[in-house]
Structure 1
Amino acid sequence: MTIPPVLSRLRLPVIGSPLFIISNPDLVIAQCKAGVVGSFPALNAREKEGEPIELERWLTRITEELDRHNQANPDQPAAPFAVNQIVHRSNARLERDVEICVKHKVPVWITSLGAQEWVNEAAHSVGGITLHDVINNRFARKAIEKGADGLIAVAAGAGGHAGALSPMALVQEIREWFDGPLALSGAIATGDSILAAQAMGADFAYIGSAFIATEEANAVAGYKQMIADSGASDIVYSNLFTGVWGNYLKPSIAAAGMDPDNLERSAPSTMDFGPNRQKPKSWKEIWGSGQGIGAVKEVVPAAVLVDRLEREYRAARDRLFRAVPA
């Protein structure tokens, strides 16, 4: 298995997943300085009509701040950052946002909800790599056929839009034919689970929910605290809220006046990432989360979270080597 040079010198084999609304420049910069890939959805950078393009400002700030960090810390350079593009027909901004990412030579592109050759070609034109997130082996093959460099296996237990397959089954099937970069998403919030992802055959752990409960994350205090107070049994899997199956915090659903154990189903045709999409007001504070949050006990700076993950990862590796000698 070959790791692309841009991802070969991480402090930990971790990619911070792009969190809708929550991932912002503060969080991305903190993740990268801590030595793991930070990412954000391009659609998080929003501006009102007539205002300067926010995505331009975000990319300029991230690039300049990480460059300053690298100049001041040549022995501990920041990890690269990634931008997530929603490749869905309802995303009217896609072409514009791709052009901006090309202009700023974004090093890592994460694509979701559709694989498009022209997006991969745009990334490659400036030396970037693309990682496409998938929920099954069929979508994985299609993504590679259309030019993606790597895959993100979104397995059962992942936060936000998630698949229903066991991570062991999904990684196993992908690795039967694909030896390129592979990240695994699904209930990963400890150093032990990062090592487990590698043991299964993934190169990287894809971690999102744990980063919600960080000081830099653009989430309200109640959301962060709910992450810290909840566990796997507090997660419900539903497609009601976006038309795509995903995991959400039961207490937030109950607070919106709904029964989290008896939710209606929605249709994929309701999926909409356009600027005029409307959601019921009662859904405003329904919060996504993965099943791994039982490991999250408090709200901390992102760097402190990465420190914990590294300690646990090294301890788990040492424990495993002692238990299973070479």
Structure 2
Amino acid sequence: MNQPVKESDMTVTWHRDESHLPPALRGLRIPLIGAPLFIISVPDLVIAQCKAGIIGSFPALNAREGEGEPPLLEAWLKRITEELDRHNQENPDRPAAPFAVNQIVHRSNARLQRDIDICVKWKVPVWITSLGARPEVNEAAHSVGGVVLHDIINNTFARKAIEKGADGLIAVAAGAGGHAGQQSPFALVREIRSWFDGPLALSGAIASGEALLAARAVGADFGYMGSPFIATREANAVEDYKRMIVESGAEDIVYSSLFTGVHGNYLKKSIERAGLDPDNLPESDPSSMNFSSGSSKPKAWKEIWGSGQGIGDVRDVVPATELIDRIDREYRAAGARLAAEFRGA
């Protein structure tokens, strides 16, 4: 259970050594990245996250225009860029954090090159790449000063990503929402840190300030948080999905490859509502993945909803700023409690 947060804990200050980080990743209010959520992450959420001081992100494939219409991704990047610029001009002492765009580099993503070109045009500051490390994508990001973070589920993939030009890594460990790995976050981060001292984020049940502090303690530079943002006002999720997040816990998460061909975590109740037995799901394989329509999940399963194991800490649907405020308070309070153990040592 979370300990009460004392007023004195909320005013604790600290110094983070950010000298090893690219400038775009420095100076965040708290070391947190809002993970790109399929369908759910839209400009309203990203802008709220960035204004609140953390990196907000969205998958490029979320911006889907109708046939014959101009690229919606361009309109989204224009709006996000202009709103954050306006915020920074009006709040020079409290600038917004940078935003990130997630590129699915799987071979079935027919939009990839078009979306890369648009991101280059708008000089996206942070690029998150998934499902394959592609040197040409990294080169495109670097051509406009962008920083590339590649998500991986094991140390082998981590090495390949850095060898192919990624600047940093997102370690997707056990308990993460969406396409999650199976390795303990403690094991995965420590193996990566044995050879890599660059930017590293940790994904896997990061839903509280205490969890964020644990990620930092084990060696990550950032927490990577997705599922709690589903239950925010700005999230593009139906109310049933948001309420299911609030009402569920770790025991309500099912790990399966059936729906996309790659193992991921899903809400048990949504699987049951689709008429399936969550305890007896058949396996699928990566050959079934296809992002040509924007998602690798067949339309028949569009209401089977992803979630990580940390949602026991999500107790209500709130504005994104309120969620970030909570994480900030908990992070500071947890840090102060642990720091007290070492005073005078």
TM tier, smaller: over 0.9
Distance in 2 (CA, whole Å) between partners of 1:285 and 1:92 is: 24
Q: Which residue of 2 aligns with 1:182?
A: 200
1:233 has 2:251 as partner: yes
Aligned match of 2:36 in 4, 10, 18? 18
Q: Kindly state the Cα deviation for residue 275 of structure 1 after the two structures are TM-superposed.
A: 2.1
RMSD, matched Cα: 1.1
Gaps of 5+ in 2: 1-18
1:125 has 2:143 as partner: yes
TM-score w.r.t. length of structure 1: 0.98
- The one-letter code of the counterpart of 2:186 is M
Q: Which residue of 2 aligns with 1:267?
A: 285
Residues 198-249 of structure 1 deviation map (CA, whole Å, 9 limit, x = unaligned): 0000000000000000000000000000000100000000000000110000
Distance in 2 (CA, whole Å) between partners of 1:309 and 1:180 is: 24
Seen in structure 2, the aligned counterparts of structure 1 residues 29 and 254 have a Cα distance that, compared at 3 Å, is same
Seen in structure 2, the aligned counterparts of structure 1 residues 278 and 189 have a Cα distance that, compared at 3 Å, is closer
Seen in structure 2, the aligned counterparts of structure 1 residues 277 and 134 have a Cα distance that, compared at 3 Å, is closer
Amino-acid identity (%) = 75
Q: Does the residue aligned with 2:237 lie in a helix, a strand or coil? A: coil
CA contact (8 A) 2:62 2:294 kept: no
Q: Which residue of 1 aligns with 2:167?
A: 149
The more displaced of 3-12 and 291-300 is 3-12
Gaps of 5+ in 1: none
Q: Which residue of 1 aligns with 2:6?
A: none
CA contact (8 A) 1:257 1:282 kept: no
Aligned match of 1:200 in 189, 199, 218? 218
Seen in structure 2, the aligned counterparts of structure 1 residues 278 and 248 have a Cα distance that, compared at 3 Å, is closer
TM-score w.r.t. length of structure 2: 0.93
- The one-letter code of the counterpart of 2:187 is A
Q: Does the residue aligned with 1:61 lie in a helix, a strand or coil? A: helix
CA contact (8 A) 1:14 1:37 kept: yes
Q: Kindly state the Cα deviation for residue 282 of structure 1 after the two structures are TM-superposed.
A: 4.2
Seen in structure 2, the aligned counterparts of structure 1 residues 128 and 212 have a Cα distance that, compared at 3 Å, is same
Distance in 2 (CA, whole Å) between partners of 1:258 and 1:50 is: 38
CA contact (8 A) 2:109 2:294 kept: no
Q: Which residue of 2 aligns with 1:303?
A: 321
Q: Does the residue aligned with 1:23 lie in a helix, a strand or coil? A: coil
Q: Kindly state the Cα deviation for residue 53 of structure 1 after the two structures are TM-superposed.
A: 0.7
Q: Does the residue aligned with 2:24 lie in a helix, a strand or coil? A: helix
CA contact (8 A) 1:189 1:210 kept: yes
Q: Kindly state the Cα deviation for residue 276 of structure 1 after the two structures are TM-superposed.
A: 7.8
- The one-letter code of the counterpart of 2:69 is E
CA contact (8 A) 2:252 2:269 kept: yes
Q: Kindly state the Cα deviation for residue 277 of structure 1 after the two structures are TM-superposed.
A: 6.8
Q: Does the residue aligned with 2:217 lie in a helix, a strand or coil? A: helix
Distance in 2 (CA, whole Å) between partners of 1:15 and 1:317 is: 19
